Amino acid sequence: MTTTPLLLITADPSHPLAHLALRYARAYLKSASADHNIDSHADDIVNKEDIDNPITKRPLLNVFFYGDSAHLANRLRWQSADQMNLTKEWQILAEQYQLPLPVCVSTALSRGVSDTDNSTRHQLDGDNLATGFTLVGLSELALMMQDGCRLIQF
């Protein structure tokens, strides 16, 4: 069994590493999904059950946004027309590959990014979490890191 890589993204959206993380994720997912399609035609019953069963299906790639990368989850983040909108690009990639986009809740809140539940809990005036992103605790990152994952930080 191969391990699912984990991209730990910590760079601010304006940093070149944030752009590199997106390019890496795109290239990896394109390659992995091509390999997955080849494997899905095999007659191996165990693999076929894993592919058909959404409960046992493992993601092709794990992503976790931490620190300054939490700014990516802000739906009110404006981007000039001459710059790539990383928030929208991550949303497109997530939709295309059914990729979860978890963001550390404490780093998001400290940077002014909140969902409805946390806005209510902390008496904030509104929410601004972009569609497709979810606020999660660090336990989610710990779960992704078990089983000897390959961690790549941007």
How buried is 45 (Cβ within 10 angstroms: 0-12 exposed, 13-18 middle, 19+ buried)? exposed
Let me know if 149 is a catalytic residue: no
CA atoms within 13 A on the CB side of 95: 8
Active-site option among 104, 108, 113, 129: 104
The encoded tokens of residue 123 equal 């008496």
Residues 3 and 147 sit within 8 Å (Cβ to Cβ): yes
Here the contacts of 88-91 (C-beta below 8 Å, separation 24 or greater) are 89/22, 90/22, 90/132, 90/133, 91/130, 91/131, 91/132
Report how far residue 19's alpha carbon sits from residue 84's, in angstroms, rounded to the nearest whole number.
Answer: 9
Catalytic site positions: 104
